[in-house]
Structure 1
Amino acid sequence: MGDSPANAPGAAARGRSRARARQCAQLRGARSAHWRPRASARACGDDSPPIVDRPPAGGARPTLTRMQPREATDTRTIEATGKGVVRAKPDLAVLKLGVTTQAEQPAEAVDQNAKRMSKVIAAVKAQGIPDTAIQTSELQLDRVTKWDEDLQTDVLVGYRATNVITVRSPVDTAVKVFDAGVAAGANTAGGLAFAVNDEKKYRREALAQATKVAVEDIEAVAKALGVNLAAVVQAEVVEAIEPPLYESQFFAMDHELAATPIVPGQLEITSRVRVRYTIKAP
Structure 2
Amino acid sequence: MIRTLPLAALIALAAAPHAFAQTATVTQPIPADGTVLDINAEGSSTRVPDLALIQAGVVTTAASAGEAMQQNAARMAAVLAALRKAGIAERDLQTSAVNLAPQYRYQENKPPVITGYQASNQLSVRFRDVARSGTILDALVAQGANNISGPNLTLADEQGALDEARRDAIAKARARATLYAQAAGLKVDRILMISETGSTPIVQPMPMLMRAKGMMAEADTAIIPGEQKLTASVSVRFLLK
State the match for 2:137 in structure 1. 178
Contact 1:231 1:278 in 2 (8 A): yes
Number of residues paired by the alignment? Answer: 211
| Secondary structure in structure 2 of the residue aligned to 1:129 | coil
**Structure 1 residue 110 corresponds to structure 2 residue 69:** yes
State the match for 2:228 in structure 1. 267
Aligned to 1:90, which of 49, 53, 57?
49
State the match for 2:199 in structure 1. 239
Aligned amino acid, residue 164 of structure 1: Q
| Cα displacement string for residues 87-124 of structure 1 (whole angstroms, at most 9, x for unaligned residues) | 22333333221111123332222221111111111112
Aligned amino acid, residue 262 of structure 1: I
| Secondary structure in structure 2 of the residue aligned to 1:260 | coil
Please report how far the alpha carbon of residue 175 of structure 1 lies from its aligned counterpart in structure 2 after TM superposition.
2.0
Larger Rg: 1
Task: Write out aligned runs for 1:69-84 (5 A).
Answer: 73-74=29-30, 79-84=38-43
Aligned to 1:167, which of 103, 108, 125?
125
Query: Is 239-248 or 121-130 further displaced after alignment?
Result: 239-248
Please report how far the alpha carbon of residue 204 of structure 1 lies from its aligned counterpart in structure 2 after TM superposition.
1.5
Distance 1:112 1:272 in 2: 49
Aligned amino acid, residue 271 of structure 1: T
Aligned amino acid, residue 277 of structure 1: R
State the match for 1:24 in structure 2. none
When residues 89 and 278 of structure 1 are mapped into structure 2, their CA distance, relative to the original with a 3 A threshold, is closer
Contact 2:58 2:72 in 1 (8 A): yes
When residues 210 and 159 of structure 1 are mapped into structure 2, their CA distance, relative to the original with a 3 A threshold, is farther
Greater share of strand: 2
Please report how far the alpha carbon of residue 248 of structure 1 lies from its aligned counterpart in structure 2 after TM superposition.
4.8
| Cα displacement string for residues 189-243 of structure 1 (whole angstroms, at most 9, x for unaligned residues) | 1211333433333222111112223444556667778998764323225132265
Aligned amino acid, residue 186 of structure 1: A
**Structure 1 residue 58 corresponds to structure 2 residue 6:** no
When residues 155 and 232 of structure 1 are mapped into structure 2, their CA distance, relative to the original with a 3 A threshold, is farther
TM score, norm. by length of structure 2: 0.68
Contact 1:194 1:245 in 2 (8 A): no
| Secondary structure in structure 1 of the residue aligned to 2:161 | helix
Contact 1:145 1:158 in 2 (8 A): yes
| Secondary structure in structure 2 of the residue aligned to 1:150 | coil
Contact 2:47 2:228 in 1 (8 A): yes
Task: Write out aligned runs for 1:1-282 (5 A).
Answer: 57-58=2-3, 73-74=29-30, 79-151=38-110, 154-169=112-127, 170-217=129-176, 231-241=191-201, 244=204, 246=206, 248=209, 258-268=219-229, 270-277=230-237
Distance 1:221 1:145 in 2: 72
State the match for 2:13 in structure 1. none
| Secondary structure in structure 1 of the residue aligned to 2:147 | coil
Contact 2:58 2:144 in 1 (8 A): yes
Distance 1:137 1:173 in 2: 22
Query: Is 112-121 or 209-218 further displaced after alignment?
Result: 209-218
Distance 1:159 1:100 in 2: 11
| Cα displacement string for residues 229-273 of structure 1 (whole angstroms, at most 9, x for unaligned residues) | 7643232251322654737597x98xx9631122222222x1222
When residues 222 and 164 of structure 1 are mapped into structure 2, their CA distance, relative to the original with a 3 A threshold, is farther
State the match for 2:12 in structure 1. none
Contact 1:193 1:245 in 2 (8 A): no
Distance 1:92 1:197 in 2: 6
Higher relative contact order (CA 8 A, sep 6+): 2
